[in-house]
Structure 1
């Protein structure tokens, strides 16, 4: 079990660092690269740099609100 936990932790770390590196390069470095450079074909248009994190944040807050609401309703039923 301990080896599986370490493997999952390593996988999550690698995925997180990869996404962070990709996003950082996309937002900070890519605007300074000429538009006709081949590297631009590996990245989405810049509008998505705002849309994707915004959508992810709204989705996360929605799920978190629903979870907290369900927990509050269940705890209210146990007290009554």
Structure 2
């Protein structure tokens, strides 16, 4: 079981570092590269660099509020 946990941890770390590197290159370095360079075909337009994290944050907050709501409802039912 410990080996499986280590493999999952390694995979999650690799995915996180890959996403961080891709996003950092997309937001910080890509604006300084000529727009006709071939590297631009691997990235979405710059507008999505803001929209995707904002959307992900809103979704995360919605799930958090729904979770808190369910926990509050469950605790209220236990007291009654």
Provide the TM-score with structure 2 as the length reference: 0.99
Alignment of 1:67-78 (within 5 A): 67-78=67-78
Q: Does 1:2 align with 2:2?
A: yes
1:1-80 matches, cutoff 5 A: 1-80=1-80
Deviation of the 1:31 alpha carbon: 0.2
**Post-superposition offset of 1:46:** 0.3
Cα distance, 1:6 vs. partner? 0.4
Q: Structure 1: 5+ residue runs without aligned partners? A: none
| Aligned-residue CA RMSD (Å) | 0.4
SS at match of 2:66: helix
- 2:41, 2:60 → 1: CA distance? 29
Unaligned runs of 5+ residues in structure 2 are none
Q: Show structure 1 runs of 4+ deviating over 6 A.
A: none
How many correspondences in the alignment? 80
| Residue 54 of structure 1, CA deviation | 0.5
Q: Distance in 2 between matches of 1:5 and 1:71?
A: 28
